[in-house]
């Protein structure tokens, strides 16, 4: 579920970049222009950059720790990234609260994945 939602969110973020390009008449490959476009572009790029880390941790935590706990963390992470995107689109400062929350959730997933791996390989 979290993986499917993540793909939908990434598609939504990409569409927002397309709409901002059209709105402000900024053709690819340009990445500079109206400040609103630049914020939306950066928000989409930042979310995409963290996608492989998130998915990797989600899967390892789900397989080796607990599927339900990992799924809840994954859904919360996606919610914080959505709020991050929305906040960043309005103002650069609007991204900070959700950014910190999503980082804490990634650390939590890392801890769960690590604990699951340790338990799997070190405990009989």
Catalytic residues: 22, 95
Is 5:78 a contact under the CB 8 Å cutoff? yes
Residues whose CB falls within 8 Å of the CB of residue 48, separated by 6 or more in sequence, listed in order: 10, 13
Q: Are 84 and 102 in contact (CB under 8 A)?
A: yes
């Amino acid at each position: 579920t979290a993986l499917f939602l993540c793909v939908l969110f990434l598609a939504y973020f990409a569409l927002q970049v397309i709409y901002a390009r059209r709105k402000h008449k900024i053709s690819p490959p340009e990445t500079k222009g109206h400040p609103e476009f630049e914020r939306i572009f950066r928000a989409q790029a930042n979310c995409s950059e963290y996608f492989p880390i998130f998915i990797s941790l989600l899967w390892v935590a789900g397989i080796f720790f607990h599927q339900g706990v990992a799924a809840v963390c994954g859904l919360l992470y996606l919610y914080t990234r959505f709020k991050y995107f929305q906040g960043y689109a309005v103002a650069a400062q609007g991204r900070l609260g959700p950014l910190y929350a999503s980082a804490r959730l990634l650390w939590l997933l890392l801890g769960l994945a690590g604990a699951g791996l340790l338990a799997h390989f070190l405990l009989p």
